[in-house]
Every structure is written in structure tokens, then in C-alpha cells.
Structure 1
Amino acid sequence: MTVNRIVRIVAGFFIMLSLILAHVMGQVDLGKLSWLWFTLFVGANLFQSGFTRFCPMDTILEKLGVPTQDPNCTTGRCG
């Protein structure tokens, strides 16, 4: 497992956990339709993409022609 995949898993987990904790504490009502459902969707996608390597945003960006790696990077560890 790579650092990138672990970061996606942890980030997605914490997004979903924060929404669940806010709901349990009565600060957020997830029973109502709101933009917080979009936040939950993003967190769930981050979480699952860490395990499955499928990310809808990756697919969209590839179809738009965005390169997957910096062409100037020769080590594979470039930001």
C-alpha cells in the first residue's frame, strides 16, 4: 500500500467520522436533505478509492487529458 492510498483512506475516514460524530452529538441532522450529504459522498469516495484504486475524479481528469505524472519527474517521488 502506498502513501497516497493510505492518505485517501485516512482522509475519507475522518470526513465520515466527523459527520457521524456531529450527527450523534445533535449538532447536525443528517435526516434532512442538506449539502452535508455531498460531504459524506466525498469522504466515502476517498475512503473506497484507497482500497479499490477507483476514483471518479481520476477518471474525469484523465478523460480531460490531464497527465497522471509530472513529465519533468524522473524519480517518481515528485509533488
Structure 2
Amino acid sequence: MTSWQLVRIIAGTFILLSLALGVQGSPLFIHTNWLWFTAFVGFNLLQSGLTRWCLMETILRKLGLRAGN
């Protein structure tokens, strides 16, 4: 698995989990402030698409994952 694949898996997991914790109709609901985390992840995905640099991918590469194309 390459670093860019894992970045997308992590981002998708964070988004789904934070939505489950932040939406009032969810059985896992804790508080609506979890939606700020959803926005944070979305902003970072947007930023990485525009700048072609992703902090999570840099961290994963330093942990030994190979870079993807």
C-alpha cells in the first residue's frame, strides 16, 4: 500500500467517524463540535490538492511507507 492510498483511507475514516459523532440523528452522537473536525479534514484535503503537499503523507513516508504515483 502506498502513502497516498493510506492518506485517503485515513481521511475517509476520520470524516465518517466525525460525522457519526457530530450529527444529532446518529446513534453514536456525542456533540456537534465533532463537525469542526470534519471541516478540518476537508480543508486539509483541499489544501493538499491545491499545493500538492500533504502533512499526513509526509508523516507516513517518514514511518516507512513508500511514496505512490
Name the TM-score, length of structure 1 as normaliser: 0.44
Q: Which protein has the bigger helix share?
A: 2
Name the TM-score, length of structure 2 as normaliser: 0.48
Query: Could you say which structure has the larger radius of gyration?
Result: 1
